[in-house]
Amino acid sequence: MIKNRILSGVQPTGNLHLGNYLGAIKNFVKLQRDYECYFMLADLHSITVFQDPKQLRENIIETAAVFLACGLDPKKNVIFCQSSVTGHSELAWIFNCVARIGWLNRMTQFKEKAGSNKEKASVGLYSYPTLMAADILLYKATHVPVGEDQKQHLELCRDIAMKFNNDFNCKDFFTLPEPIITKEVARIMSLKDGTKKMSKSDEAEASRINLTDSADDIVQKIKKAKTDNDLIPDTEFKLVDRPEARNLINIFSILNGSTIEKTLKELSGKNFSELKNKLSDVLIKEIVPIGKKIKEFKKDTEAIKRILKIGSEKANIESQKTIKEVHKIIGLSLS
Ligand code: TYM
């Protein structure tokens, strides 16, 4: 029985932002101390919407550089590309035959991403969560650190694991993974609309802080971030109907190592320009050094490719154990 193994992934679609960092990657860095970790570039997930091949190759290198720049240690963790480990797509196919259409029909992310034009969405976008379940269960991960938007996919992953274990009478074969979702960072919102999550695909560049933004970009984006005309209140309750104000205060509190309550105590009655100045300062302190490191790591693409190759070799060995067992359990292996 594997104890405390983590798997998580990030799509290499460019524009990694503060939401990805606070919601996921910063947490990975902390968790690498205490868990056996598999961190994956989810390139097969990214092609569920069209990717320009040249751009995709660059984004894979860039996302690996982000992992390294944020502090993931390739000697301690298995860092790899999903597409270079064949077990992911093999197990995903098997899970396509375990998961029910009704389960997938309930996935809100598909509805959001496909929008009003579902007929034109790729089949991959629809069955995306079964691939994600395969990513996790292939390594029998016990914990999965993610942002709030992935919670429903994780629940589906647990449903698939349970149905597989039941259907094939192999109790406890697949571990039911636990999500690690930290409340404060689980949903970092857009700087332009506090009801929408910060997202790579938002056309408005000013809606997000990218990990490669310069100090000047950060100052400008925070200056233009939407707020309202009221002053900073003295209780969190008074932020309920002020999503943009709440988001900025939340981001500031996280980066300042504080809580919303303490920030409000310190700044209540002040106006937002004061908070924005302080927020720009803490963001610059945290993000600009990461951006510099990303640039440095990207200079040596060969080193990045080597890291990914070593990672995929380890991941292949581990994942093939599960694939072999699964083949035996479901009757695909004749020996
Ligand atoms: P992706 O690439 O969309 O996002 C990567 C991680 O960043 C988190 N995140 C956020 N957290 C807080 N606030 C936000 N605004 C925000 N935006 C993104 C996401 O929750 C995620 O943790 N399907 C996944 C990738 C994946 C995966 C996996 C994750 C593939 N297989 C297996 C875990 C386990 C995705 O598209 O993440």
Annotated catalytic residue 113: yes
Residue with tokens 């992934």: 9
In single-letter form, the type of residue at position 227 comes to T
Residue ranges of domains in the chain, CATH in brackets:
5-180+300-330 (3.40.50.620), 205-296 (1.10.240.10)
Q: Does ligand 1 lie within 6 Å of residue 129's CB atom?
A: no
SS3 sequence of 214-279: CHHHHHHHHHHCCCCCCCCCCCHHHHCCCHHHHHHHHHHHHHCCCCHHHHHHHHCCCCHHHHHHHH
Reported as a single tens digit per residue, the pLDDT across 315-332 is 999 999 999 999 999 999
Query: What's the pLDDT at 98?
Result: 98
Name the CA dihedral angle for 101, 102, 108, 113, rounded to a multiple of 10 degrees: 30
For every residue of 292-308, DSSP letters joined together read HHHHHHHH-HHHHHHHH
Residue 177 Cβ contacting ligand 1 at under 6 Å: no
pLDDT tens string 245-293: 999 999 999 999 999 999 999 999 999 999 999 999 999 999 999 999 9
**208 DSSP 8-state letter:** S
- Residue 187 gets the label, from left (phi > 0), alpha (psi -120 to 50) or beta, of beta
Average pLDDT of the residues in 40-62: 98
81 near 41, Cβ under 8 Å? yes
Residue with tokens 């091949």: 53
d(CA 115, CA 130): 20
More confident residue, 1 or 309: 309
Catalytic residue among 113, 226, 278, 305: 113
Rounded-to-10 torsion of CA 275, 278, 282, 288 = 110
Do the beta carbons of residue 215 and residue 288 sit within 8 Å?
yes
Q: Is 264 or 1 the better-scoring residue by pLDDT?
A: 264
Query: Would the CB of 198 count as within 6 Å of ligand 1?
Result: yes
Instruction: Quote the longest CA-to-CA distance of the chain.
Output: 73
Cβ(165)–Cβ(172) below 8 Å: yes
Residue 197 known to be catalytic: yes
CB atoms within 10 A of CB 12: 26
- Could you give the CA distance from residue 231 to residue 313 in angstroms, rounded to a whole number? 55
Residue of minimum CA distance from atom 9 in ligand 1:
20
- pLDDT higher than threshold 80 for residue 46: yes
pLDDT of residue 110: 95
Q: Is the CB of 19 under 6 A from ligand 1?
A: yes
Q: What is the pTM of this model?
A: 0.96
CA of 146 to the centre of ligand 1 (A): 6
In single-letter form, the type of residue at position 224 comes to K
Binned at pLDDT 50, 70 and 90, residue 295 comes out as: very high
Give which of 221, 294, 305, 256 is closest to 16, Cα–Cα. 294
If pLDDT is split at 50, 70 and 90, which confidence band does 1 have?
Answer: very low
The average confidence (pLDDT) of the chain is 96
Q: What is the mean pLDDT of residues 65-71?
A: 98
Residue 42 has pLDDT above 80, yes or no: yes
Does ligand 1 come within 6 angstroms of the Cβ of 246? Answer: no
Residues in Cβ contact with 73 at an 8 Å cutoff, skipping those fewer than 6 apart: 32
Q: Let me know: does 115 contact 76? Beta carbons within 8 Å.
A: no
Q: In a mutational test of the pocket of ligand 1, which residue from 62, 146, 196 has the highest number of ligand atoms less than 8 Å from its CB?
A: 146
Is 305 among the catalytic positions? no
Q: What is the mean pLDDT of residues 136-153?
A: 97
Q: Which amino acid is at 141?
A: A
CB atoms within 10 A of CB 201: 8
pLDDT at 3: 64
Tokens 């700087």 — which residue? 191
C-alpha–C-alpha distance, residues 67 and 298, integer Å: 11
- pLDDT tier at 117, thresholds 50, 70, 90: confident
Would the CB of 24 count as within 6 Å of ligand 1?
Answer: yes
Q: Is 172 left (phi over 0), alpha (psi -120 to 50) or beta?
A: left
3-class DSSP state of 33: coil
What is the distance in A from the centroid of ligand 1 to the CA of 268?
A: 33
Q: Which of 26, 197, 221, 298 is catalytic?
A: 197
Torsion sign (Cα): 39, 44, 49, 53: positive
